């Protein structure tokens, strides 16, 4: 009986917390990113890439509700995470916003996202043409932290690409608590081959209802694709693990001429 009562209290607290959550906005007056028309880009995985989805095999992923339709994995019933976890990476991913008769616009149109862990989101959204939303929440934004430099979005139904470089943060964590951000995370994004985010320093996690802030998390995180209730399609996903920083090997002698 006591356990049931406790469960009831926990549920009530959660419901109340959800009820008071408010849409947090940065207050920064981002200018509208200029639209550019992207060219075609080569997308085949290089030899040292880990292929996360090749159009047939979803075994690298945890959510079996995401089914394969015509060689694409479709967002459905919850987020989908990789089984493997990663630190700093180069990630290639292709996505298509659903074609609808009636595009509702704003955040309710083809919303998904590429996350590093559950923490850092590069937004996926229909931002083609006149579908407007807050600019640091449009397609290619670091959600609520930075608008893309330009809008390289293609039409709903067309395949689009992200090539993302993610440099993980270095967090000093003691007893599960964040003591110090030793180095922030950085993200670079090419959208359909166009540079839209250039080595952007993350201020922390990308939250809908909170200002950015770092939370303690492990060094290695899964890649997570967001299910926002829209059947966004994904294909040709591959990843390369990269060096955390640009440290050089040990200098064994003074520089010299041959």
Residues that bind Mg ion (CB under 5 A): 111, 113, 123, 226
- Rounded least distance, CB 79 to Mg ion, Å: 10
- Rounded least distance, CB 175 to Mg ion, Å: 32
- Rounded least distance, CB 107 to Mg ion, Å: 8
Task: Select 111 or 145, whichever has its Cβ closest to Mg ion.
Answer: 111
Please tell me the distance from the alpha carbon of residue 255 to that of residue 212, in angstroms, as a whole number.
44
Residue partners of 226: CB distance under 8 A and separation at least 6: 75, 79, 111, 112, 113, 114, 115, 121, 124
Task: Select 33 or 113, whichever has its Cβ closest to Mg ion.
Answer: 113
Task: Select 92 or 144, whichever has its Cβ closest to Mg ion.
Answer: 144
- Rounded least distance, CB 164 to Mg ion, Å: 14
Task: Select 111 or 205, whichever has its Cβ closest to Mg ion.
Answer: 111
Task: Select 96 or 171, whichever has its Cβ closest to Mg ion.
Answer: 96
DSSP string, 164-226: EEEE--EEEEETTEEEEEEE--EEEEEETTEEEEEEEEP-S---SSS--------SSB-EEE-
| Residue, CB closest to Mg ion | 113
- Rounded least distance, CB 21 to Mg ion, Å: 16
Please tell me the distance from the alpha carbon of residue 173 to that of residue 170, in angstroms, as a whole number.
9
* Cβ contacts of 104-110, under 8 Å, gap ≥ 24: 105/131, 105/132, 105/133, 106/131, 106/132, 106/133, 107/133, 107/137, 108/230, 109/156, 109/230, 110/156, 110/230, 110/232
- Return the DSSP state at 155: P
Task: Select 8 or 208, whichever has its Cβ closest to Mg ion.
Answer: 208
Which among 136, 130, 127, 124 has a CA at the least distance from the CA of 161? 124
Task: Select 151 or 226, whichever has its Cβ closest to Mg ion.
Answer: 226
- Rounded least distance, CB 114 to Mg ion, Å: 9
- Rounded least distance, CB 180 to Mg ion, Å: 29
User: Between the CA of residue 27 and those of 30, 79, 145, 184, what are the distances in Å?
Assistant: 9, 28, 10, 22
Task: List the beta bridge partners of residue 34.
Answer: 150
């Amino acid at each position: 009986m006591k356990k049931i009562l406790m469960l009831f209290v926990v549920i009530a607290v959660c419901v109340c917390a959800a009820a008071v959550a408010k849409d947090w906005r940065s207050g920064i007056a981002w200018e509208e990113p200029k639209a550019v028309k992207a060219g075609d880009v080569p997308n085949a995985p290089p030899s040292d890439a880990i292929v996360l989805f090749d159009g047939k095999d979803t075994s690298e992923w945890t959510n079996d509700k995401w089914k394969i339709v015509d060689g694409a994995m479709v967002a459905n019933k919850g987020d989908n995470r990789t089984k493997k976890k990663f630190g700093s990476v180069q990630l290639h991913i292709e996505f298509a916003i659903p074609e609808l008769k009636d595009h509702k616009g704003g955040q309710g149109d083809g919303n998904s996202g590429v996350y590093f862990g559950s923490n850092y989101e590069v937004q996926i959204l229909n931002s083609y043409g006149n579908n407007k939303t807050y600019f640091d929440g449009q397609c290619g934004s670091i959600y609520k932290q930075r608008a893309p430099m330009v809008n390289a979005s293609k039409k709903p139904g067309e395949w689009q690409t992200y090539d993302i470089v993610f440099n993980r943060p270095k967090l000093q964590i003691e007893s599960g608590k964040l003591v110090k951000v030793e180095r922030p995370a950085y993200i670079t994004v090419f959208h359909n081959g166009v540079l839209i985010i250039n080595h952007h320093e993350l201020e922390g996690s990308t939250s809908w209802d909170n200002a950015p802030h770092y939370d303690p998390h492990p060094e290695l995180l899964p890649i997570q694709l967001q299910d926002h209730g829209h059947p966004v399609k994904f294909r040709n996903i591959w990843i390369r693990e990269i060096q955390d920083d640009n440290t050089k090997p040990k200098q064994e002698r003074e520089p010299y001429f041959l």
